[in-house]
Structures are given as C-alpha cells and as structure tokens.
Amino acid sequence: MKYNQLAFDISALNTENQIKNYNSLGDIVSAIIPYIFGISGIILLLMIVFSGFQMLTSAGNPKAMEAGQKRLVNAIIGFVIIFLSYWIVKFVGQMLGIESITNIFGN
C-alpha cells in the first residue's frame, strides 16, 4: 500500500471551522433543542423500563402495581406532549417562514 492511499485531509480535524456564532436567543435555542429532545427520549425510555420493572416486581401488591401503572401512563403522556410540541413548533415555524425553526434537525 502506498502512503498517499492512507493520507487524509488534516483540515477536517480543524475545529475552528466548527465553532458557531450565536447572534440571538433563537440561535441558542435552536442549537439546544436537539439535545433536549434526545435527553427527554432517554428519560422516557428509563421511565418505561422502570415502571415495567416496578409492575413485574410488585408481587401481587396492588399499590405497587398501581404506582407502576401511573408511572407508565405519565411517561406516555409526557411523550405525547413532547411529540406534539415538536410538531406544533415545526408547523408554526413553517407557516411563519422562520428558517431557523424549520431546520432545527437539518430537515
């Protein structure tokens, strides 16, 4: 194998090109929103797993089973709220023609 076949572009490692300037609060929020949705998805998964574990280990205790069911219902309601909030913001941004909102996830 020749050395030039293994070479790569060192400029791709330059982090100066990756630093973004945030000129407004909207730019900051647009940068943070994908992380918020990711974290909320992880929390949702953990709540569903924990509520299922709580229902499985209730050992016939009706109070523990009911607590697990309530936690599961609350997790699903939270998911619906997050899901609808994303689509409402996306729809309003598209209707008002705000590019920074409609392109939050690169779509």
The residue among 81 and 104 whose pLDDT is bigger is: 81
* Distance in angstroms (rounded) separating the CA atoms of residues 77 and 64: 20
pLDDT exceeds cutoff 80 at 26:
no
pLDDT value at residue 2: 53
How would residue 41 be classed by pLDDT, with cut points 50, 70 and 90? confident
Decide: 73 and 52 in contact? Cβ < 8 Å: no
Q: What is the pTM of this model?
A: 0.65
* Distance in angstroms (rounded) separating the CA atoms of residues 72 and 78: 10
Count the alpha carbons within 13 Å of 67 in the hemisphere toward its beta carbon: 12
pLDDT exceeds cutoff 60 at 15:
no
Most confidently predicted of 2-16, 31-45, 56-70:
56-70
